[in-house]
Structure 1
Amino acid sequence: MKRIYLFLLLLVSMQWACSKLDEVPQSFVVADQFYRNEGEATAAVTAVYRKLYESGQSIYNSLFQIGVEMATDDYEAGPRARNAHVRAISGLTHDASNDRMQELWRQSYSAINASNVAIDKIGAMDAGRINETVRQRLINEAKFLRALHYFNLVRWFGGVPIVIKETPSLSEDALYVAKATEDEVYNQIIEDLKNAEQLPAWKSYGAADIGRATSGAAKSLLAKVYLTKKDWPNAVQKSKEVIDSEGYDLFPEFADVFSVAKKNGIEHIFSAQFLGNAGYQGNSLASRSAPADIPGINGDYADALHWEGNLYQSFTANDARRQVTFVSQMVSPVDGKLYTLTRPQFHKYYDEAVVGNQGQSSKNLPIIRYAEVLLIYAEALNEQNGAPNTQAYWAIDKVRARARIATLQSVAPSLNQAQFRDSVFQERRKELVFEYQRWFDLSRRGAEYYVSTLKAAGKTQAAPRHIHFPTPQRELDLNPKLKQHPDWINY
């Protein structure tokens, strides 16, 4: 029987558990046997969150890195990245047959369909089975997650199919959906996020709901959507709403952002949740980036710094972010000796509690945090006004001050629009290393910028088509209504 990974998800995993996001799933049931009460509805949406970071190479647990970020000037396939598809992305020789492209597409639509099922089923529950406030909250959480996945898809692939209802059958009409335009996809994203703005504020959640989507998360993601669309006034408005009204702030120290003890704290607007050694899921980026040749560390060293990109060299010695982001020396837990690495390696997610078993790192991965909102605000103000104003300098300098480097206002108080734009992008690059941001930043500045940046970093295969990824060949084969992205025809 013909089928397509895009929409074939007739079973959805549901957790017979309370709403806390670090609960272990106990069983899986068919959707029609679920949604009998409020607890089951909450567990169903909790299961949708798990699509972000479930076991294996899931979207926010390394697939993003090996399927997207390798195609930038900051990263490359490390010595132990043996998968030919990953190495192809790193060298910009990938094509529509690349299995990482297929996984990005498949897992994203699997998560979208899980959101659709939850939205439809919870919306149809009898009033006596669920509190109305809880119903709307759960539906809006699922809409937030659906918007997040569509936001990734449209930036990766351009126009993609829009599916916002549960797939009820294997009929061709249900399975075969043509691509929508990029504008149509963005309209759907914005509609979902505007609904999600009605979610509770993060400070109103109790311990059982830590990590769930909030009004601040919806507003922050919406600000980022507007920024990507170059809708500067709305990007300014939404980021300012977060700054003024949602109660977030920067941690005093950059290291606090990646502290297990301070997870889901005042700076963390929305994160992928990891909990090692608990039957749950560790953050695999810790192992993938850890050294492989120091006794007792047992790292994979599959995600490496692309030295020619000059990322490490761009940090001043006194920048507090450098020593958190990278490691150059480590003491072996086996022989007690100090080892100096040939080159600095990424260190943000290294968990000292699980030395020798970094696959069980409990460090969360920030999807959006307050520092990025400040940088969104600074960038959007500069673009809207044609030059940076006092508030734009204030926003970027809050980030720089926490990094213990000189404020931009003090060293370059009279930047023009282009100079300030470059300063914001440079600050984003250093602040958000290894947080799945670099490819998006390069691609949204356009093909010329992307290509020139990568070629300057020695990735000479860079071409204009690389600001998108090809529609996976398997999807084209399965769905006759899909067409390849114009930039990738004949490649």
Structure 2
Amino acid sequence: MKKIIISILGVLSLFGCVDLKQEPLSFLTPENVSYDESNMTTMANGLYRALWGWNYGYCCRLFTLTLGADDVIAGQLSKTRVIVIDELRADATISELDVKYFWTNMYNLILNSNLMIEGISGSSGSFEEKKPYLGEAYFMRAFAYYNLVRIFGDVPAIIDSKSAQDVLGNENIGRNRVADIYDKIIVPDLIMAEEYLPEVPRTRDNSSVGKIAAQTCLSEVYLTMAGWPLKRTEYYAKAAEKAKQIIEASYNTHRLVEHYEDLWKEVMKSDNTEHIFAINCSRLNSMASQYGISFLAMEENGWSDYLADEAFYLKYPDDERKAFNYKTTYNRAGRPGQTIIVPYTQSTMKSPFINKYRDYGTDAAQSDGIIPIYRYADVLLIYAEAQNLANNGPDDLAYRCINDVRKRATGGTPNDIPENLSGEDFDKYVFDERGWEFFAEFKRWFQLVRREKVEECNRYNSRVVEAGYIDRNKENYLMPLPPKEVELAKFSQNAGY
């Protein structure tokens, strides 16, 4: 039920070219640091703050840029920021700030990763001591480019800090092909990260990356490379192989937690039983998330920025996840001493409310909690999807993976899918299960795009279909480049904008 952006709002003169020289808090550069363990730790911590991106970066910006999926709608953003990207219509709009700051955020992370790689690699000292910190930097650079190519397509590929400081706004530096960025940066960097990172993350929780985070990201990268736009279907086998390696590894201590809702409790946010990697947010530590009242409905004294897509909600199976993920009523004062419970269908936006992140705080625009990136459920469903598509039929492990996820969703009651399914039918079960499991986790849009199902899954929304907002060209799967970068660097804007 989302729409793909075709025009860009914003006054170009308000925004300058991205300044890649801006550094995150606590980040040290090669010119002012000695590479002892304390300073390498400080640099590594700076990478996670750079990814976080001042609470808007890897949170609400990503939410907004992926509203073309079918699980979340824009809500009041369609009025307050004139964002109406939750319908597939040709005049859809997006705030220029969202594309500008997401682009800036990722390139800032790339610069800092480059600085760290160069500085540590060129320093004296034991290589064994430096390896895990290099692993974190290689992971972060790969992850930044992975986000950039999925959002923008061809982008400048920079693997040294000097070029990074001069890249944007420089018409002598062009955009590199998506395939080349995968082949020459993302995959090699993740392989290096997998080799260098320890089995147990540096922080011993989910707030930093270890070997399994690199393997999980690499398996997802292979899964993405098998789909649109590269369509290298032979990579399904690579994705399955890497996911299976995680599942069967002797050092793998991850598993599904017993109850889905426990994943989203503030007191459990750093737990790495299932969360393999997540940004740990804290208002106290000046690293807040952007949930808060943005996820509350106006009827709850919130902003209604993000709401659940009703069509997706109505298809959602009645399990523990659905009961936790959604809030479907609100309270209204009646006669003195009386409270009236009102269904969402009588609310202003007539859509269910998102409950998932409410334990992180709803008293302000900023809150605590986590920004989820990889969970063990990712590994299980990557294997189930990739193995089936690679072999035109599921094996026993693929069945076990999806059934484990479904069993947890029903509170421990077995909820197995039918046996002896064809590859096509098994794929339908896995595709749907991924949507239910990762509701409102920034993943659905990328799933629909790589499987070329944006239009198909949006057809369930009667308002979109009746208005004729459907059948967009796949070139509109990409977001527009920041207009100021197009102007200064002489880039060709992505098609359709």
Normalised to the residue count of structure 1, the TM-score between the two structures is 0.84
The 10-residue stretch of structure 1 (98-107 or 198-207) with the greater mean CA deviation from structure 2: 198-207
SS at match of 2:84: helix
Gaps of 5+ in 2: 1-14, 227-234, 345-350
Structural mapping, 1:268-307, within 5 Å: 268-276=275-283, 278-294=284-300, 298-307=301-310
Distance in 2 separating the partners of 1:169 and 1:358:
33
Shift of 1:123: 1.8
In structure 2, what is the equivalent of residue 424 of structure 1? 430
Match of 1:104 in 2: 102
How many matched pairs? 453
Q: Identify which of 117, 133, 138 aligns with 1:143.
A: 138
Deviations 1:405-424 (A, max 9, x none): 87564x52232122211211
How far apart are residue 365 of structure 1 and its match? 2.1
Q: Using a 3 Å threshold, how does the CA distance of structure 1 residues 162 and 169 change in structure 2: closer, same or farther?
A: closer
TM-aligned CA distance change 1:341 to 1:143, over 3 Å: farther
Partner of 2:492: 483
Match of 2:420 among 408, 414, 418: 414
Deviations 1:114-133 (A, max 9, x none): 21111112222232xxx432
Name the counterpart of 1:350. Answer: 358
Identity %: 25
Identify the residue that residue 182 of structure 1 maps to in structure 2: 178
Highest RCO, 1 vs 2 (Cα 8 Å, sep ≥ 6): 2
- In the alignment, the residues of structure 1 paired with residue 338 and residue 276 of structure 2 have an alpha-carbon distance, to the nearest angstrom, of 39
SS in 2 for 1:248: coil
Shift of residue 283 of structure 1? 2.4
Find out whether 1:398 has 2:404 as its counterpart: yes
Equivalent position amino acid for 1:114 in 2: N
Distance change in 2, residues 1:331/1:171 (3 Å): closer
Give the letter for the 1:229 counterpart. Answer: M
1:20-77 CA distance string (max 9 Å, x none): xxxxxxxx7666223453322221221111122242411x221100122x11222221
How far is the alpha carbon of 1:95 from its aligned partner? Answer: 6.3
Pair 1:454 & 2:465 matched: no
AA of the residue aligned to 1:49? Y
| Pairing of 1:48-87 with structure 2 (within 5 A) | 48-58=47-57, 60-68=58-66, 70-79=67-76, 82-87=79-84
Q: How does 1:366-385 map to 2 (within 5 A)?
A: 366-385=372-391
Q: Deviations over 1:200-225 (max 9, x none)?
A: 44546455x75111100000000001
Q: 88-97 or 162-171: which moved more? A: 88-97
CA shift, 1:484, in A, is 2.9
2:7 match:
none
**CA 1:210–1:155: 2 relative to 1, 3 Å:** closer
How does 1:198-237 map onto structure 2 within 5 Å?
198-201=195-198, 203=200, 205-206=202-203, 211-230=207-226, 231-237=235-241
User: Taking structure 1 as reference, are residues 336 and 267 closer, same or farther at Cα in structure 2, changes over 3 Å only?
Assistant: farther
Return the match for 1:166 from 161, 169, 182.
161
Amino acid at match of 2:43: A
Matched with 2:44 is 45
Distance change (3 Å), C-alpha of 1:400 and 1:29: closer
Contact 1:254 1:321 in 2 (8 A): yes
Partner secondary structure for residue 54 of structure 2: coil
CA contact 2:264–2:359 (8 Å) conserved in 1 = no
Which amino acid letter does the alignment assign opposite residue 189 of structure 2?
Answer: D
* CA distance in structure 2 between the partners assigned to 1:338 and 1:356 by the alignment: 22
Q: For 1:216 and 1:76, how far apart are their aligned partners in 2? A: 33
Q: Which of 5, 8, 12 does residue 23 from structure 2 map onto?
A: 12
* CA shift for structure 1 position 157: 1.8
User: Any conservation in 2 of the 1:10–1:167 contact (CA below 8 Å)?
Assistant: no
| Aligned equivalent of 2:348 | none
SS of 1:167's partner is helix
- Displacement of 1:112 in angstroms is 1.1
Secondary structure at the counterpart of residue 82 of structure 1: helix
Distance 1:159 1:96, change over 3 A: farther
Matched with 1:155 is 150
SS at match of 1:476: helix
Listed one character per residue, the Cα deviations across residues 265-316 of structure 1 (whole Å, up to 9, x for unaligned) are: 210111121123x14233222432123323xxx4321001222xx2111223
> Taking structure 1 as reference, are residues 337 and 125 closer, same or farther at Cα in structure 2, changes over 3 Å only?
farther
Partner of 2:246: 242
The aligned runs of 1:16-27 (5 Å cut-off) are none
Q: Aligned partner of 2:317: which letter?
A: T
Structure 1, unpaired ranges of 5+: 16-27
> Displacement, 1:144?
0.4
Q: Deviations over 1:404-460 (max 9, x none)?
A: 187564x522321222112111001100001001110111112xx322322442434
Looking at structure 1, the residues matched to 432 and 483 of structure 2 have their Cα atoms a distance apart, in angstroms, of 35
| 3-state secondary structure, aligned to 1:44 | helix
For 2:398 and 2:87, the matched residues in 1 are separated by 35
SS in 1 for 2:173: coil
Letter in 1 for 2:493: Q
* In structure 1, C-alpha distance between the alignment counterparts of 2:288 and 2:339, rounded to whole Å: 27
Query: How much does 1:107 deviate?
Result: 1.7
Further displaced range: 253-262 or 140-149: 253-262
Q: 1:47 and 1:280 mapped to 2: Cα distance?
A: 13
Distance 1:169 1:474, change over 3 A: closer
Secondary structure at the aligned position of 1:235 is classed as helix
CA 1:341–1:110: 2 relative to 1, 3 Å: farther
Q: Is the 8 A contact 1:272 1:365 kept in 2?
A: yes
Matched residue, 2:118: 120
SS of match in other structure, 1:112: helix
Contact map agreement 2:325 2:354 (CA 8 A) in 1:
yes
Aligned to 1:340: 342
| CA deviation profile, 1:218-265 (whole Å, cap 9, x unmatched) | 000000011111211111110011111122100011111112222232
Aligned equivalents of 1:151, 1:238: Cα separation in 2: 17
Partners of 2:153 and 2:165 in 1: CA distance: 26
Q: Kindly indicate whether the alpha-carbon contact (under 8 Å) linking 1:329 and 1:339 is maintained by their aligned counterparts in 2.
A: yes
Whether 1:389 and 2:395 are equivalent positions in the alignment is: yes
Q: 1:91 to 1:35 in 2, by over 3 A?
A: farther
Change in Cα spacing, 1:252 to 1:172, as seen in structure 2 (3 Å) is closer
